Amino acid sequence: MAQYDVIIIGGGPGGYNAAIRAGQLGLKVACVDKGVNGGATLGGTCLNVGCMPSKALLHASEMYDAAANHFGELGIDVKPSLNLTQMMAQKATSVGQLTKGVEFLFKKNKVDWLKGSGRIAGPGKVEVAGPDGKSETHEAKNIVIATGSEPSPLAGVEVDQVRIVDSTGALSLPKVPKSLVVIGAGIIGLELGSVWRRLGAQVTVVEFLDRITPGMDTETAKTFQRALTKQGMVFKLSSKVTGAKIGKSDVSLTVEPVAGGAAETLTADVVLLAVGRRPYTDGLGLESVGITPDKRGIIETDHWKTSAPGVWAIGDVTHGPMLAHKGEEEAVACIETIAGKAGHVNYGVIPSVVYTSPEVAWVGQTEEELKAAGRAYKAGKFPFTANSRAKINHETEGFVKVLADAATDEVLGVHMIGPQVSEMIGEYCVAMEFKAASEDVARTCHPHPTRSEALRQAAMGVEGWTMQA
Ligand code: NAI
């Protein structure tokens, strides 16, 4: 039986960053992970069957779409043909390199990787059931739960990973379906729906609410839906799927209006179920330390401490957005607290990104949230049609919107839709972390010509002096 300062259960972005930070701080640390999808790899959902493979396919399919539909206007005449096997292979190669990278970082920071399923076996004890069927119990002063989340099921829609797939199945379809119905207009549905639409599928998205991407600023979401519709995605809002029947070569879905009324049948080659994710704590032995998750499976914490002494929880198993970088923030703060330092997460500055085309990125509060809180604010907005770099690249869809406190000018929220905004939102994360006023950004020199000038022009708009639109 080995003894550790910290044992982390789960090797995704929460778990592996916690392990690395613990190693850096000189704690004796182990990370238990069984590998995702049957493979003995670190990195969790994000690296193996989430963020990384989806971004690999989003990038490749965007290149394909550009070659097929947009190169001509640049004076490049090509007729691309799809090699899906190679597209999947390059995805697997990159993912493999990244998971090996985490393994390397574990070695570099003296983190023991305990391969197998981890289970809390009473206070200070973690039992690891290895792939060889043997179990070992280890002792730890601190146990960090970082087991992440899994796709939420939907009654009447059974995932078989062939005809009805979840995000994992949708990352590895063996051929492009003629038709794809996506259930849920959230980030997963729209990103993976975009991949298969670009590669040739007719994509219909069924959404329960009367809008797409709940949580996104409403004006931005409307612009986003218009852009996706123009690309050929079909939306059925205010609709719920109440049943699915798998046939020989397709799936029949029963779809009903949420408000009541006649049901209709939609058929598709493949159905992607993407109605959210839920915390993953199956078989974790929480009862052995007296932890009871809430109805949604979420573990309550106070500064990452659970109700059980010496047991901590971070990432998707706790409250907050299910985002890799939120888990990473909590990982660092939790381990620094364990090490006797002052761990801190600024939950007001956790950015969100949708990696479609156009991309959507935001940080801070939406207009709806500010209105609901009764906070007086001013808005500055700048369209990419007026940005020179976007114009010369023929990527003029979208805008940047900056929301700032009416009295103090502090930046409260920033919402962007447009080309590569994922790479630009970080500027406003830094600004907000430093409690910048919109004027601070408006008076900061930005390189010309770049898309980032739109960030500055939108900030100027807060005080009504946008110069280039
Ligand atoms: P989501 O919560 O973003 O969206 C789920 C959507 O399904 C919602 O619009 C919801 O109203 C709808 N829905 C729920 N039940 C339904 C039903 N019965 N019929 C029709 N629609 C229904 O969940 P999603 O897209 O599955 O993503 C899960 C998590 O993963 C989210 O927290 C998301 O932020 C995260 N994620 C983040 C990514 C990123 O940062 N780029 C990429 C992929 C996932």
Q: Report yes or no on 260 lying in a domain.
A: yes
| pTM confidence score | 0.97
Q: pLDDT tens digits for 300-321? A: 999 999 999 999 999 999 999 9
Q: Report yes or no on 115 lying in a domain.
A: yes
Q: Report yes or no on 469 lying in a domain.
A: no
Same domain? For 269 and 286 the reply is no
For residue 99, the model assigns a pLDDT of 95
Query: Can you read off the two tokens belonging to residue 362?
Result: 């935001």
Whole-number Å distance between alpha carbons of 181 and 299: 33
* 427-447 per-residue burial string, b: 16 or more CB within 10 A, e: under 16: bbbebbeeebbbbebbeeebe
Closest C-alpha among 244, 273, 241 to residue 258: 241
CA–centroid distance, 240 to ligand 1, in Å, is 14
Same domain? For 341 and 434 the reply is no
pLDDT at 39 over 90: no
Same domain? For 11 and 112 the reply is yes
The pLDDT of 139-155, averaged and rounded, is 98
Residue with tokens 């179990």: 135
Q: Report yes or no on 305 lying in a domain.
A: yes
Nearest atom within ligand 1 for CA of residue 50: 43
φ, ψ (nearest 5 deg) of residue 225: -65, -40
Q: Report yes or no on 416 lying in a domain.
A: yes
Host domain of residue 368: 358-462
- Which of 275, 297, 313 is the C-terminal boundary of a domain? 275
Same domain? For 247 and 266 the reply is yes
Q: Report yes or no on 453 lying in a domain.
A: yes
Catalytic residue among 70, 344, 394, 448: 448
Beta strands in 116-200 (DSSP E): 117-120, 125-129, 135-145, 149-151, 164-165, 179-183
Q: Using 50, 70 and 90 to split pLDDT, how confident is the model at 1?
A: confident
The answer to whether 268 and 180 have CB atoms below 8 angstroms apart is yes
Same domain? For 423 and 453 the reply is yes
Same domain? For 380 and 415 the reply is yes
The answer to whether 323 and 349 have CB atoms below 8 angstroms apart is no
Whole-number Å distance between alpha carbons of 194 and 178: 14
Q: pLDDT tens digits for 182-224? A: 999 999 999 999 999 999 999 999 999 999 999 999 999 999 9
Same domain? For 9 and 133 the reply is yes
Same domain? For 66 and 170 the reply is no
> Would the CB of 414 count as within 6 Å of ligand 1?
no
The pLDDT of 99-126, averaged and rounded, is 97
> Would the CB of 185 count as within 6 Å of ligand 1?
yes
For residue 280, the model assigns a pLDDT of 97
Number of domains in the chain: 3
Q: Report yes or no on 158 lying in a domain.
A: no
Which residues have CB under 8 Å from 293's CB, separation 6+?
Answer: 279, 281, 286, 299, 300, 317
pLDDT at 37 over 80: no
Whole-number Å distance between alpha carbons of 174 and 311: 42
| Whole-number CA gyration radius for the chain | 23
Instruction: Residue 210: give its domain's CATH number.
Output: 3.50.50.60
The pLDDT of 91-107, averaged and rounded, is 97
- Which of 348, 379, 409 is the C-terminal boundary of a domain? 348
For residue 162, the model assigns a pLDDT of 97
pLDDT at 38 over 90: no
Sign of the CA dihedral with 24 first, then 42, 278, and 326 last: positive
Same domain? For 186 and 251 the reply is yes
- Which of 305, 326, 348 is the C-terminal boundary of a domain? 348
The answer to whether 143 and 311 have CB atoms below 8 angstroms apart is yes
Same domain? For 174 and 251 the reply is yes
> Would the CB of 243 count as within 6 Å of ligand 1?
no
> Would the CB of 188 count as within 6 Å of ligand 1?
yes
Mutate to test the pocket of ligand 1, among 152, 154, 165, 208 (most ligand atoms within 8 A of CB): 208
Same domain? For 251 and 398 the reply is no
Same domain? For 207 and 293 the reply is no
Q: Report yes or no on 157 lying in a domain.
A: no
pLDDT at 384 over 80: yes
For residue 290, the model assigns a pLDDT of 98
Distances (CA, A) of 253 to 187, 246, 265, 273: 21, 9, 5, 12
Q: pLDDT tens digits for 386-430? A: 999 999 999 999 999 999 999 999 999 999 999 999 999 999 999
